[in-house]
Amino acid sequence: MIASHLLAYYFTELHHDHVQRVSMLQQPGYQRLHENRTIIELKLRRELVWLSVIKHKFALVLFAETGDFLALDLGGTNFRVLLVRVSSNGKQKVEMENQIYAIPENIMRGSGTELFDHIAECLANFLEKLGIKDKKLPLGFTFSFPCQQTKLDESFLVSWTKGFKASGVEGRDVVGLLRKAIKKRGDFDIDIVAVINDTVGTMMTCGYDDHHCEIGLIVGTGTNACYMEEMRHLELVDGDEGRMCVNMEWGAFGDDGALDDIRTEFDREIDAGSLNPGKQLFEKMISGMYMGELVRLILVKMAKDGLLFQGHTTPDLLTTGHFQTSFVSAIENKKSSEGLLRAEQVLRGLGLDSSPEDCVAVQRVCQIVSTRAAHLCAAALAAVLRQIRDNKRLRTTVGVDGSVYKNHPQFARRLNKMVRLLVPDCDVRFLRSEDGSGKGAAMVTAVAYRLAKQHAERQRILDSLRLDRDQLLEVKRRMEEEMKRGLAEKAHTTAAVKMLPTFVRATPDGTERGDFLALDLGGTNFRVLLVRVRSGKRRSVEMHNKIYTIPQDITQGTGEELFDHIVHCIADFLEYMGMKGASLPLGFTFSFPCHQTRLDQGILIKWTKGFKASGCEGEDVATLLKDAIHRSEEFELDVVAVVNDTVGTMMTCGYEDPQCEVGLIVGTGTNACYMEEMSNVELVDGDEGRMCVNMEWGAFGDRGELDDVCTEFDRAVDDQSTYPGKQRYEKMISGMYLGEIVRNVLLDFTAKGLLFRGKLSERLKTRGIFETKFLSQIESDRLALRQVRSILQHLGLTSSTCDDSILVKEVCSVVSKRAAQLCGAGLAAVVDKIRLNRDLEKLSITVGVDGTLYKLHPHFASIMRETLRDLAPDCEVTLVQSEDGSGKGAALITAVACRLRDARK
């Protein structure tokens, strides 16, 4: 009768309605949680902030690992050091040796230096004992406290739990503190590869045996859980494909008041007397550190109210910590009679004279407290299971560790049963970790160690494509030297950068007027334009154009076929404009290296950009065009000017900005031009005024100037090109080649097992299949990694992973950044030469820029601008993007030439 009265009292305190094994979910507070699971899920998800960088399910990548690995498992008053030997002789085998060490209470609550010195000392003892102190082994550090991780080997302690209070550690990187303690000793060295939470270690340990294990749960001194979350839900981490293990730190659930309606006066009293009041409230209702104390407080309350022990208490019963959680497990023995006997022994040890009814009541109090803990744990676990469920019956395994789960005779059964009641549509298996989280830490370390070596190898390869400031300054210096060689009459023939005079010496003065045709040829597409120039107050340029293609067989055929095709397109355009048979002045933008002795002549030096039409090199392209016009007998044109596209771009932008004296193209190919002092142009008579010089800088490097920054990938691209050994600078910068450089890097990575799991698609082996436009798409800040993956799938890489996508994006970024930096270094040489030519301390100048790579790549322009500013600090350069292309510039040059010709007449 007394026992029933006591239990009724206690159940009232805990909001229970029944005595016999009442489900916690029948409480008003828990009924709300049961009916509206979304609430608890949302509240729990707010705690999903501590990230462990384990991106793939452990079991899928484990079987490549062999070797010896250390593990350090720190999460309570005792910690373990382990040596884990992983071997593979057709079948994976794991052997472990371990030693348990104690952490005295004065160290737990002393300084962080003392704590980590103690850990280092124990680690040294373990290594010496096994005779491996002279070896530098990789180590995985299980650190079972709330930490913020940004990478696998760095973890900042957010707050101590489980009774720890070592000063100077919160907010610090615990890996750094351990490394410092080891370095201070100086008698051994280790490579700390990974730091993980014990829940993650438990999940990995159990995942070794059960590949369905994707949840880790600890119910011991403290409590916590982790699980595999979809990357698309993790806003704190880049990437939206695959999954990542999330360390929930669910012990802090309720710190925001979410559990206030089910916390009792006993919970509040425990919290108030703890080392961290107001923190870890969920943990304080569940874990082994507090369960015994919760029972003690209830017993004290009941005794003082005269409901137990005839109203008597003892100093031991009133002393915090004297009713241990192990007593709860012993009193709840599966055999009730043995549990009652144990209750009597425990009470006697506390100096209490207990009756049989007192023992029954104490046993029931223990049952209720532990049942509440199990059911709370089940409710939270149900929320996790619902979070990962994919609208179907979920089959998953929960890896579990912890003294309460393992040692309490009823806890596991109650937890398992309640989880199944709460999520009946999930097929849940609970797998107890027999090897602790240390084995998991070692296994993560084994995987991480291999991945770290692979990462280092990838970075070593990519580093060959990265340029430092000194290298860029040297590129600038060498470009300046080649410019001088190209301008000099004696050195011109051997110079790589030809510095070709264009005979463009004047810019529009506003009096030009008339209709002009322009032909813009620089790639497989070309434009025919009609440009109407109007002078006076309302001076304007009106343009009409049409784009035509040149089939590849014509670019590789004969010169006659090429120019006949061009003339056919011009005739089509004139008919399209209703001007069939008209005779107009024409400016010919011809974007290939030409030697000019006058404005209306251009002798092709060599084809570039994949063109190989025979019978053109060494010939005047203006004459070839005129001959084709005569063959057609459809119209007559007056070819007034042959212009390079860079010159056309400069003139187009110069029409709006008189300070524009440099033209730059970064598209299929790359080139630059600028206004040079006539006194420096030794190939042309006269030393007054200026002339635009077509640099043809794509050939920079053909004399070996870039050999020290060229990589094996550049050499592979060059070897497979139409003109090996030529246009080396262009092949490192322009749109025709960047995709091919990336493709060669990806081939190398894959062959070395560093990408796509070593599996190569046949399509990726195809030269030119990785188009440069893919770089612009992949590097777009707006592009999600799943879209990167769709590009890879287009290339036949159907099994590529999120990590593959990230690496491909990095390769693209490195290759395009180098291209932009090299272009910036060349442009720095140009503007600095103009400044020195004019003997200026500071130069203000505008560069007109055109080209698909410059216009479409999301980062090329900004990187080039930054490099230019760094390497030419005395030049204030404005980059103006040409919106009308170089064809308008060719027409304007033609208009100026016609004006000057008419003036001479």
Nearest to 450 by CA among 710, 105, 147, 62: 62
Q: Which residue has the tokens 């700390």?
A: 192
Integer-rounded Cα Rg, in Å, for the chain is: 39
∠ at Cα 772 (724, 793), nearest 5°?
120
Q: Which of 698, 811, 715, 797 is nearest to 757 (CA)?
A: 797
Distance, CA of 107 to CA of 181 (rounded, Å):
15
The residue from 527, 743, 818, 835 that is catalytic is: 527
Per DSSP (E only), the strands in 248-377 are: none
How far is 307 from 323, CA to CA, in rounded Å?
19
Q: Report CA dihedral (406, 412, 413, 418) to the nearest 10 degrees.
A: 180
Nearby residues of 156 by Cβ (< 8 Å), 6 or more positions away: 147, 148, 149, 171, 172, 173, 174
Q: Is the dihedral of CA 73, 75, 76, 77 positive or negative?
A: positive
Nearest to 570 by CA among 637, 522, 631, 514: 637
Residue 395 class from Cβ within 10 Å (0-12 exposed, 13-18 middle, 19+ buried)? exposed
The catalytic residue among 645, 702, 832, 850 is 645
Give, to the nearest 10 degrees, the angle between helix 860-871 and helix 469-487.
80
Active site annotation includes 718: no
Output the six-digit token pair for 895. Answer: 């208009």
**Strands 843-850 and 690-694: what pairing?**
unpaired
CB contact at 8 A, 284 and 270: yes
| Separation between Cα atoms, residue 508 and residue 269, nearest integer Å | 88
List residues bridging with 195 in a β-sheet.
141
CB atoms within 10 A of CB 183: 10
Residue that is written with structure tokens 């960047």 in the block? 738
**Hey, what amino acid is at 98?**
N
Residue 720 is which amino acid?
A: Q
Residue 645: active-site member: yes
Element (H, E) at 208: helix 198-209
Q: How does DSSP classify residue 615?
A: T
Helix (H, G, I), strand (E, B) or coil at 81: strand
Q: Strands (DSSP E) along 233-384, which ranges? A: 243-247
Closest by CA position to 694, among listed 633, 762, 647: 647
Other CB atoms within 10 A of residue 577 CB? 16
Q: How many residues does the chain have?
A: 905
> 241: burial class by Cβ within 10 Å (0-12, 13-18, 19+)?
buried
- The helix-helix angle for 112-130 and 174-185 (nearest 10°) equals 60
CA atoms of 215 and 433, how far apart (whole Å) = 12
What percent of the chain is helix, strand and coil (3-state, nearest 5)?
A: 45, 20, 35
Which alpha helices (DSSP H) does 577-695 contain, by range?
621-632, 645-654
Active-site option among 437, 591, 816, 886 = 591
Nearest CA-CA partner of 218 in 296, 297, 272, 282: 282
Q: Active-site residue 540, yes or no?
A: no
Identify the bridge partners of residue 576 per DSSP, sorted by sequence position.
none
DSSP 446: H
Q: What is the 3-state secondary structure (H, E, C) of 164-221?
A: CCCECCCCCEHHHHHHHHHHHHCCCCCEEEEEECHHHHHHHHHHHHCCCEEEEEEECC
Give catalytic residue positions.
527, 591, 645
